[in-house]
């Protein structure tokens, strides 16, 4: 239903009022890491630590991080003939985010067909449109086995130092397990959402009951399994969950079904749209899984997220829905009126309509009127990570489940007995922190080590004014090093693995070129890096990062993009333009802008 100008003005006013309630001076600094007095929160509940002898050898390629980035890069390098890729991983196995996040109900929010990498290469058919976490974790192990990546991997190991030895033309890597080995090339896939955080509230350490972060789920306490067995040990427990982001949306229905009492502490509601998950039918899959199918699907998703009028939408989900609505509005205008201003207006109108639908959905699904009002999200859909779920809202109809809305102020304190909101103490047996992961901090602070490049220059020094790379992947003065992440590249947040998988292709092309030509080092020429950064800075940042949005990690907790944040944007032409550029760049074989020695 189109929205009138008066309705729009009223909604906009509400958006700003809700944002203002939540603005706080401390921004990102409000959170605390699972360190020091909270160190116990960080322990790995899934795999026991095993003793091993420190490693002191040499490998061709060392990759820090055993999530999708390390796995896909390792796979592509193996295909290119590199036999000794060593992945170093903090967790006890491959998986990265999918190793740690085993909370009940965890599943991918982007369709498995494009989210799970290397499906074609491993011959795996996802079981559902949105696969659950155990299947994704098993897929990570499958990639590891298929490409022989377990052989050299070091688990439960954190890199502490990484420095370039210009005489030997290799990197020296040191770890917290006493390893000191060398590698010709290094890759890093350490995030971005890997450093778990706790809310910055007092008293967390004083709580006398059980507490844990969602990325360290304690099934020994809750009962149940990541595969979906009910959390039977919670039947006599009063449980609090703090946070209502994408993680909480997925696990709340499971907690509501199991706990004697569930209190969901909310600061800002998520927008929760229809999920519509369904099994993937083998006959259908066989009919579409012809050679090159996954690339076709990936390209089609990107096409559907870009400007233009793609003929078909293969994925058909919440991400492409918004783009489709915008396109329909633009298409209704004569081509002479396809101006940037009209595009933005179409975007805004489509967003208002979408959010009205999402708020109406709350009324349709939640019985208690007050609860329904409090579950409505008053901001534009892309101000925060959009959520999709078919049972989250209904979970609040369970008699034992209660929403404790904090009117944007958040939980005040934790006491020995429970959780305090606006002076009221709620006594509970267990507190689960669904408080997310660090985002706004500097890359090197999050990675836990600082690269030391040519002439001892640190990456943190090189990036003092903001990130500087060629293609978001290579840095001048840091030879043979690759940083696998979306910034200064496609920045396709609706399908993060696509960014990573594409970088893996670039890395393997560069390494193959180096090895075939007997080169010992490569890095971007300073001029090429500067030109790339200049191009990135022409990106307006549009809605993502807008200070008008309610605070969250998309907009630097309400502070908007700082000058430094602008350096972490993507290609100004969007994901499609980046992928087209890089594909051409690596296929020509001259790797323009790189220096080879
Ligand atoms: P988020 O950062 O999205 O959510 C943290 C939550 O904690 C927010 O609701 C936040 O409120 C709340 N919070 C923080 N401090 C307080 C406080 N003092 N009192 C009350 N509440 C508080 O973390 P998630 O783990 O949910 O998700 C992080 C990201 O991980 C997602 O955005 C997504 O990118 C990814 N993810 C992906 C999934 C998938 O693809 N399947 C599933 C889950 C996560 P407020 O909003 O007001 O800041």
How many other β-carbons are positioned within 10 Å of the β-carbon of residue 103? 25
pLDDT at position 166: 96
Clarify whether residues 385 and 428 are in a common domain: yes
Q: Which of 389, 417, 436 is the last residue of a domain?
A: 436
Instruction: Determine if ligand 1 sits within 6 Å of the CB of residue 243.
Output: yes
552 Cα to the center of ligand 1, angstroms:
9
Clarify whether residues 353 and 300 are in a common domain: yes
Clarify whether residues 375 and 463 are in a common domain: no
Give kind and range of the element (H or E) at residue 419: strand 418-421
* Token pair of 33 as six digits: 């890491």
Cβ burial 225-260 (10 Å sphere, 16+ → b, else e): ebeeeebebbeebbbbbbbbbbbbbbbbbbbbbbbe
Number of domains in the chain: 2
Q: Using CA positions, which residue lies closest to atom 45 of ligand 1? A: 268
- What is the C-alpha to C-alpha distance for residues 239 and 539, in angstroms, rounded to an integer? 44
Instruction: Please calculate the CA angle 105-110-112 and round it to the nearest 5 degrees.
Output: 80
The reply to whether 128 falls in a domain is no
Q: Using CA positions, which residue lies closest to atom 46 of ligand 1? A: 268
The reply to whether 508 falls in a domain is yes
- What is the C-alpha to C-alpha distance for residues 549 and 555, in angstroms, rounded to an integer? 7
Nearest to 305 by CA among 331, 314, 345: 314
- What is the C-alpha to C-alpha distance for residues 259 and 231, in angstroms, rounded to an integer? 8
The DSSP secondary-structure symbol of 280 reads: P
Instruction: Determine if ligand 1 sits within 6 Å of the CB of residue 244.
Output: yes
Clarify whether residues 450 and 428 are in a common domain: no
435 Cα to the center of ligand 1, angstroms:
5
Q: Which of 389, 416, 436 is the last residue of a domain?
A: 436
Clarify whether residues 201 and 304 are in a common domain: yes
The reply to whether 41 falls in a domain is no
Give the burial class of 97: count Cβ atoms within 10 A of its Cβ; 0-12 exposed, 13-18 middle, 19 or more buried. buried
The reply to whether 141 falls in a domain is no
Q: Which of 404, 436, 468 is the last residue of a domain?
A: 436
* Token pair of 37 as six digits: 């007095």
Q: Which atom of ligand 1 is nearest to the CA of 553?
A: 2
Instruction: Determine if ligand 1 sits within 6 Å of the CB of residue 247.
Output: yes
Instruction: Determine if ligand 1 sits within 6 Å of the CB of residue 549.
Output: no
* Token pair of 155 as six digits: 């688990």
Q: Using CA positions, which residue lies closest to atom 37 of ligand 1? A: 246
Clarify whether residues 253 and 369 are in a common domain: yes
Question: Residues near 276 by Cβ (< 8 Å), separated by ≥ 6?
Answer: 129, 390
CATH of the domain at 557: 3.50.50.60
Instruction: Determine if ligand 1 sits within 6 Å of the CB of residue 524.
Output: no
pLDDT at position 324: 85
Question: How much is the CA Rg of the chain, to the nearest whole Å?
Answer: 24
Instruction: Determine if ligand 1 sits within 6 Å of the CB of residue 371.
Output: no
- For a pocket test of ligand 1, which of 27, 246, 272 has the largest count of ligand atoms closer than 8 A to its C-beta? 246
- For a pocket test of ligand 1, which of 245, 421, 553 has the largest count of ligand atoms closer than 8 A to its C-beta? 245
- What is the C-alpha to C-alpha distance for residues 440 and 132, in angstroms, rounded to an integer? 28
- For a pocket test of ligand 1, which of 105, 106, 385, 493 has the largest count of ligand atoms closer than 8 A to its C-beta? 385
Q: Which atom of ligand 1 is nearest to the CA of 433?
A: 7
The reply to whether 114 falls in a domain is no
243 Cα to the center of ligand 1, angstroms:
6
Q: Which atom of ligand 1 is nearest to the CA of 439?
A: 2
103 Cα to the center of ligand 1, angstroms:
14
Q: Return the axis-axis angle of helices 293-304 and 574-588, rounded to nearest 10°.
A: 140
Q: Which atom of ligand 1 is nearest to the CA of 248?
A: 26
Q: Using CA positions, which residue lies closest to atom 41 of ligand 1? A: 108
Instruction: Determine if ligand 1 sits within 6 Å of the CB of residue 66.
Output: no
pLDDT at position 544: 59
Clarify whether residues 500 and 579 are in a common domain: yes
How many CA atoms are closer than 13 Å to the CA of 142, on its beta-carbon side?
Answer: 17
Q: Using CA positions, which residue lies closest to atom 13 of ligand 1? A: 243
DSSP 63-82: EE--SHHHHHHHHHHHHTT-
436 Cα to the center of ligand 1, angstroms:
4
How many other β-carbons are positioned within 10 Å of the β-carbon of residue 409? 13
The reply to whether 545 falls in a domain is yes
Instruction: Please calculate the CA angle 435-210-372 and round it to the nearest 5 degrees.
Output: 50
The reply to whether 105 falls in a domain is no
Instruction: Determine if ligand 1 sits within 6 Å of the CB of residue 494.
Output: no
Q: What is the pTM of this model?
A: 0.95
246 Cα to the center of ligand 1, angstroms:
6
pLDDT at position 545: 55
437 Cα to the center of ligand 1, angstroms:
8
Kindly report each contact of residues 173-177 with a partner whose C-beta sits within 8 Å and lies 24 or more positions away, as own/partner: 173/62, 173/88, 175/88, 177/52, 177/54
Domain that holds residue 87: 58-94+149-195+440-596
- What is the C-alpha to C-alpha distance for residues 107 and 441, in angstroms, rounded to an integer? 26
Clarify whether residues 229 and 359 are in a common domain: yes
The reply to whether 543 falls in a domain is yes
Clarify whether residues 418 and 509 are in a common domain: no
pLDDT at position 448: 77
Task: Answer left, alpha or beta for residue 96, where phi above 0 means left and psi between -120 and 50 means alpha.
Answer: left
550 Cα to the center of ligand 1, angstroms:
13
264 near 401, Cβ under 8 Å?
Answer: yes
Clarify whether residues 462 and 397 are in a common domain: no
Instruction: Determine if ligand 1 sits within 6 Å of the CB of residue 386.
Output: no
Question: Residues near 151 by Cβ (< 8 Å), separated by ≥ 6?
Answer: none
Clarify whether residues 432 and 458 are in a common domain: no
One pLDDT digit (tens) per residue for the chain, 597 residues: 678 889 889 999 999 999 999 988 877 788 888 888 899 999 999 999 999 999 999 999 999 999 999 999 999 999 999 999 999 999 999 999 999 999 999 999 999 999 999 999 999 999 999 999 999 999 999 999 999 999 999 999 999 999 999 999 999 999 999 999 999 999 999 877 778 999 989 999 999 999 999 999 999 999 999 999 999 999 999 999 999 999 999 999 999 999 999 999 999 999 999 999 999 999 999 999 999 999 999 999 999 988 778 889 999 998 888 888 888 888 888 888 888 888 888 888 888 999 999 999 999 999 999 999 999 999 998 888 899 999 999 999 999 999 999 999 999 999 999 999 999 999 999 999 999 998 766 777 777 789 999 999 999 999 999 999 999 999 999 999 999 999 999 999 999 999 999 999 999 999 999 999 999 999 999 999 999 999 999 997 765 557 778 888 777 777 777 778 888 899 999 999 999 999 999 999 899 999 999
Q: Which atom of ligand 1 is nearest to the CA of 31?
A: 15
Question: Residues near 320 by Cβ (< 8 Å), separated by ≥ 6?
Answer: 301, 304, 305, 313
pLDDT at position 52: 97
Clarify whether residues 256 and 289 are in a common domain: yes
Instruction: Determine if ligand 1 sits within 6 Å of the CB of residue 144.
Output: no
């Amino acid at each position: 239903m189109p929205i009138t100008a008066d309705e729009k003005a009223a909604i906009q006013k509400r958006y700003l009022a809700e944002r203002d309630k939540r603005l706080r001076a401390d921004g990102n600094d409000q959170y605390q890491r699972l360190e020091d007095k909270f160190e116990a929160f960080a322990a790995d509940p899934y795999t026991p630590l095993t003793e091993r002898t420190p490693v002191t050898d040499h490998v061709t390629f060392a990759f820090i991080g055993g999530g999708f980035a390390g796995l896909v890069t390792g796979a592509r390098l193996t295909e290119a003939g590199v036999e000794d890729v060593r992945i170093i991983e903090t967790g006890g196995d491959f998986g990265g985010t999918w190793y740690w996040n085993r909370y009940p109900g965890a599943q991918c929010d982007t369709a498995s067909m494009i989210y799970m990498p290397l499906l074609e290469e491993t011959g795996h058919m996802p079981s559902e449109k949105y696969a659950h976490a155990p299947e994704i974790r098993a897929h990570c192990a499958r990639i590891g086995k298929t490409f022989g990546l377990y052989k050299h991997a070091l688990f439960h190991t954190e890199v502490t130092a990484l420095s370039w030895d210009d005489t030997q033309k290799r990197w020296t890597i040191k770890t917290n397990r006493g390893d000191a080995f060398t590698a010709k090339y290094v890759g890093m896939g350490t995030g971005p959402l890997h450093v778990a955080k706790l809310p910055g509230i007092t008293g967390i350490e004083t709580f006398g009951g059980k507490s844990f972060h969602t990325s360290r789920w304690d099934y020994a306490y809750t009962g149940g399994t990541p595969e979906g067995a009910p959390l039977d040990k919670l039947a006599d427990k009063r449980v609090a969950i703090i946070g209502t982001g994408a993680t909480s949306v997925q696990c709340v229905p499971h907690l509501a079904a199991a706990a004697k009492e569930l209190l969901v502490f909310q600061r800002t509601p998520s927008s929760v749209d229809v999920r519509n998950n369904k099994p993937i039918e083998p006959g259908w899959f066989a009919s579409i899984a012809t050679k090159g199918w996954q690339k076709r699907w990936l390209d089609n998703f990107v096409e559907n997220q870009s400007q233009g009028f793609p003929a078909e939408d293969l994925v058909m989900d919440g991400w492409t829905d918004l783009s489709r609505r915008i396109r329909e509005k633009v298409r209704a205008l004569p081509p002479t009126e396809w101006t940037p201003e009209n595009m933005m207006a179409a975007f805004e109108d489509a967003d208002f309509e979408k959010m009205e639908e999402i708020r109406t959905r709350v009324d349709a699904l939640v019985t208690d009127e007050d609860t329904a009002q409090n579950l409505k999200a008053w901001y534009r859909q892309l101000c925060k990570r959009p959520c999709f779920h078919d049972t989250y809202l209904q979970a609040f109809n369970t008699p034992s489940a209660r929403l404790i809305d904090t009117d944007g102020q958040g939980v005040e304190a934790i006491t020995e007995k429970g959780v305090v909101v606006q002076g009221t103490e709620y006594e509970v047996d267990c507190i689960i922190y669904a408080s997310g992961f660090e985002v706004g901090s500097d890359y090197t602070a999050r990675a836990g080590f600082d690269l030391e490049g040519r002439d001892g220059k640190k990456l943190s020094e090189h990036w003092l004014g903001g990130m500087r790379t060629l293609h978001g992947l290579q840095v001048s003065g840091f030879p043979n090093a690759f940083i696998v992440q979306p910034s200064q590249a496609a920045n396709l947040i609706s399908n993060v693995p696509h960014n990573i998988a594409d970088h893996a292709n670039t890395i393997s092309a560069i390494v193959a070129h180096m090895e075939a030509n007997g080169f010992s080092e490569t890095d971007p020429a300073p001029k090429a890096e500067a030109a790339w950064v200049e191009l990135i800075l022409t990106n307006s940042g549009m809605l993502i990062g807008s200070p008008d949005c309610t605070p969250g990690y998309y907009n630097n907790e309400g502070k908007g993009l700082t000058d430094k944040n602008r350096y972490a944007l993507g290609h100004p032409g969007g994901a499609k333009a980046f992928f087209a550029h890089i594909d051409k760049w690596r296929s020509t074989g001259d790797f323009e802008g790189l220096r080879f020695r």
